[in-house]
Each structure stands twice: as C-alpha cells, then as structure tokens.
Amino acid sequence: MKHLGYCCSMHCVSQIPLIRGKTARETLMDKGIWEETRQKYPFKPMAKFLQTGDVAVTNDANLAYYAVISIGTPPQFFKVIIDTGSSNLWVPSVNCSSTACQNHTRFNPAKSSTFTWANTSVFVQYGTGNFSGLLAYDNVTVGSISVSHQIFGLSQTEADFFASVVTDGIMGLAFPSISASNATPVFDNMITQGLVNQSLFSIYLSRNPTGSVLTFGGIDSSYYTGQITWIPLSAQTYWQVSMASVRVKGKVAACTGGCQAIVDSGTSLIIGPDSDINNINNLIGATTDQNGDTTVNCSNISNLPAVTFTLSGSSFTLPASAYILQISNVCFSGFSPGSPDFWILGDVFIRQFYVVFNRQNNMIGLAQAVNVSSATNASSAVNECVYTTLGFLLSVCFSLVCVYSGSPILSFLI
C-alpha cells in the first residue's frame, strides 16, 4: 500500500490510505450476538447531530472506513474514523478502565514528551448515553502532515458497544462551530499552521478493503472522471447543502419541495425522514422484517431502479449496485429512517462520488468516482515534488526539492 504526499515550500498535500475493515455488525454476527447487541444499543443516527455541547459519537454498527494517525512524541498510533459529521478528535486514555478500552490502543500521556493537559473535561455523547474524558494537547501526525499542539479528547469511560468496533477513536472534520468545548479541529490547525496547499480535503471510498484515500490540501484527478460539480454550503456547521428532491423511476419520491442534507463520512447509510425512506424502499421493492432490517432479493439487484439526488440543480445518481449492501448473502437497503429534520448522505452515497470538502469557498465538490482498479495513485499536481512512503522516516521538503523518508502509519496498513 502506498502513502502519497508532495510538499513545496513547506506547504503540503498529503494522501493517507483509508482502510475498509470489518464492521461491528459483521463482528457481532460472527459471534452470534448481533441481535442481542442491537437491542441493547439501538442505532440512533441523529444522536451525533444533537447540539448538546458534548462530543458526538454514534454507535453505527456498519461503519467500516478508518485511517491510522499518530499522537505524541514518540508517536503512539490509533485507528480513527474519518468523520465529516463531527469536529472533535478523541482516542481512549490509558486511564480508561471500561471493557471497550481494554481491546483498543490507549494513549499514555507519560510516554509523550510533548503532551500537556488542557485542564478541561469533556463528555462524549452516543445513542444510548455518554462517556467521559479529558482534553489535552499534543502533536498529531496525519499522513505526512504533523500538526503541533493539537487539542484532543482522552476518554476515561466508554460504553461496552465500542468493544466490538475496530477503531480506537474519531477524527472530526466538520466546522469549529460545532466542536465540543470549542476545541479546534485538526484540519483547522492544518490551515492555520500553513501545512496544506489549499484549504480543502477530498475523500475517495473504495468498495474494496484497500484503495480508499483521504487527501489533505489537494484534489487527485486519478480518482474521478468528468468534471467536479461545486455545490455551495447552506450552513457552515456540518457539510450541509440544499437538496431539491430525491427521484426514483423519474418521479419525486422524497424531499418534496426541498430539504437539507449533510454529507457525512461518519455515517454508513443514507438516512432520511421515516416516510420518505419508507417510500423509497417500497419503490425499490425492499421489505422490512420484524427486526427492522430492510432487504431485497440479491438475485434481483440488476433490475432495481436508480435513485437520483438533486443538489443545487445538479443530479447525482446511485445505481442499485451502490445502494444495496450485501452481508453474509443477505442484501440490505442502504436507505434507513431516523432523521426527521434533514438527510444524512453517508458512505453509501460517498462511495459513488469523489467528494471534495472545500473550506476556502465553503463548497462541496462531487465527481463520478472511478473504480479503484483504474485509480493510478498518482498525483495530478504539476510542478510538485512527489514521494512514496514506507517505514519510520521523516519527510523534509525544501522549495521544489524533497528529501523523502517514510511514514510510520504504514506499519499498520501493509
């Protein structure tokens, strides 16, 4: 696996691999305790969007994508969900005694020479309660970018549900306005510290275990075809846009008269109002069982209709192959109810498009994503210096000359 970056005059573009790991749902199904766990910790997709002043976490059992980052000096490594639907960075603390912390990597402040406490407590909210933690500062490295004095949360108690989640924590990439305790998000510090070429980042999600990438400071044209369509944000909180309608078979099936939508990499499905989602699922021929699972016949996927989202006058279409999820020979609808006020366009939507999150112009860019096998992993940037990383080394860039070493992140990814 390659990690790609290019730096010029100390301003960088960094491309970090995202891994598609086993979901909590798959892990719990393997153990035969999925039904028991889902009853105890029901999925409440709106929990992370409630403005309570707490750090938001949702117990989404279908989340799969994560990156490996490091915190501290020397670095301590963590698997984190890349979440454009929240703004805080948090990982477990060595002082966390909860069951969920025991099988995850925990940060040890005593082992970092650059660590300082912020002397502020924080609560992390999820679907069935919250867990507590403390805020602190340390150096955070994401790909080839090292952010100094980054504020982050250290959880001290966690819900048992998170014992089944492969990731250790979350790195939020939404706006500072929704950050708990007014903690500055990682990407904002990248901008302020002059660590990125442009005030934007982009995401490509592959359907395969490998091939997904998060790019800070640039756009990689090898991951999309055609042109990028730019959509202005309707609010600078989440990555929120105006949606005109959702069409199935050429007719408006949902969002009649317009609605709001949030593009959220930290939600696995497409979430909407109950009546709208039920209408879409009926139109695609899905049925809901007694457990609340909405499924279709796997042999009929090629005959299912496309679903088209109209955002600011532009249409973005999902074929059935994009919105149907197959787990253990069962095919589930990627449309789920649970959001009465707005839509959440999660990974089911993002996988179909290369998504650019532009802070400089407060826009989202969408372009048709390529199949990962045709992505070149080569930067489209001109007159940039490019390096590929493997191992524990340090990248040093002087003007247009890069002396490369590698990134410790890859020891987790190979």
Q: Which residues are catalytic?
A: 83, 264
Task: Indicate left, alpha or beta for 168 from its phi (over 0: left) and psi (-120 to 50: alpha).
Answer: alpha
| Cβ-contact 243, 343 below 8 angstroms | yes
First to last CA, the chain: 6
Q: By the 8 A CB rule, do 31 and 407 touch?
A: no
Pairing of strands 224-232, 129-142: unpaired
Structure tokens at 235: 């609010």
- In 3D space, the residue among 386, 370, 378 whose CA is nearest the CA of residue 5 turns out to be 386
Query: 76 CB contacts (<8 Å, ≥6 apart)?
Result: 70, 105, 107, 108, 111, 112
Joined tokens for residue 393: 């080394």
Query: Comparing C-alpha atoms, which of 257, 269, 315, 307 is closest to residue 285?
Result: 307
Torsion angle, CA of 282/284/285/287, rounded to 10 degrees?
-60
Environment class of 360 (CB within 10 Å of its CB; exposed 0-12, middle 13-18, buried 19+) = exposed
Report the chain's C-alpha Rg in angstroms: 21
Report CA-CA distances (Å) from 312 to 170, 255, 309.
Answer: 30, 13, 10
Q: ∠ at Cα 226 (220, 230), nearest 5°?
A: 75
**Which residue from 248, 265, 140, 175 is spatially nearest to 213, judged by alpha carbons?**
265
Q: What does the DSSP 8-state code read for residue 197?
A: S
* Cβ pair 258, 58 in contact under 8 A: no
Answer whether 70's CB lies under 8 Å from 78's CB: yes
How many beta carbons lie within 10 A of that of residue 209, not counting itself?
A: 11
Do 127 and 58 meet the contact criterion of CB atoms below 8 Å apart? yes
Answer for the pair 333, 292: CB distance below 8 angstroms, yes or no: no
